[in-house]
Amino acid sequence: MTLSGTILIADDHPLFRQALAMAAEAVMPDARIAESANLATALAEAVAADDLVLILLDLKMPGAEGYSGVALLHAEKPGVPILVVSSADAAQGAREAVRFGAVGFVGKDADLSAIEDAIRDALAGKRMEPPKDDIIDPVAAQIASLTPTQLKVMLGVMEGRLNKQIAYDLGVSEATVKAHMTAILKKLDVRNRTQAVLAAKALGMSLIHA
């Protein structure tokens, strides 16, 4: 097990971040703990940390829509395990989180020792397997293949924003957004923006989870 490195805690509740920090430090005493209260700063912290070894992620916090936080962080740091810590329904939340790239799921109502065990398993490389009767939708894999910027464009489209508005938000040209949109349609094997949105919504990208 890795004995040092950065553990990122992304949760908008200060007291729960503190509890997660205690659990993380109990498992890895020498870890550097980075905290984020919204998805934007979590992404920035993830990109900046060269020694990132684990991400502890709440599903619902500012900037996150459904499982977009898992998808975006997984796209930015595909080799770093993401452990979702959420009050969402455990069965549904775990299944969906794993589909978007998480290695595990633990409920916020779990006791500290259970959270520590989940952190220990994630750091050891253990990955939660979906139930044998749960066939992974190929569209989930297609969405997981989108780059971080493509995911951000997709989320903008789902919010009903025009290409020029998305371009302004991302600080790129409208032509760049159009190019990303073309790539998104190709990856999702759909013909237009509406079909792309429907595909993403079908996977819970637009649902709000606690």
Cβ atoms within 10 Å of 22's Cβ, excluding its own: 13
Query: Are residues 163 and 83 both part of a single domain?
Result: no
Last residue in a domain, options 63, 98, 123 = 123
Dihedral pair phi/psi, residue 125, rounded to 5°: 90, 10
Smallest CA-to-CA distance from 143 within 87, 94, 90, 201 is with: 201
The CB-side HSE value for 192 (13 A sphere, CA atoms) comes to 1
pLDDT at position 99, please?
78
Dihedral pair phi/psi, residue 55, rounded to 5°: -120, 125
Query: Are residues 44 and 76 both part of a single domain?
Result: yes
Which one has a higher pLDDT value, 39 or 136?
39
Residue 45 structure tokens? 């912290």
CA distance 199 to 56: 27
In a domain, 192, yes or no: yes
User: What is the CATH number for 61?
Assistant: 3.40.50.2300
Q: Which domain holds residue 146?
A: 138-202
CA distance 161 to 148: 18
Smallest CA-to-CA distance from 25 within 39, 52, 5, 51 is with: 5
User: What is the CATH number for 180?
Assistant: 1.10.10.10
In percent, how much of the chain has pLDDT > 70? 86
**Average pLDDT over every residue of 55-71:** 83
Query: Are residues 49 and 117 both part of a single domain?
Result: yes
Q: What are the tens digits of pLDDT across the range 5-26? A: 999 999 999 999 999 999 999 9
Contact between residue 9 and residue 36 where contact means Cβ atoms under 8 Å apart: yes
* Sheet with 52-57, edge to edge strand ranges: 32-36, 6-10, 52-57, 82-86, 104-107
Mean pLDDT value across the chain = 84
In a domain, 128, yes or no: no
Q: Looking at the 3D structure of the chain, how many domains does it have?
A: 2
Query: Are residues 38 and 115 both part of a single domain?
Result: yes
In a domain, 129, yes or no: no
Query: Are residues 93 and 144 both part of a single domain?
Result: no
Query: Are residues 91 and 184 both part of a single domain?
Result: no
In a domain, 210, yes or no: no
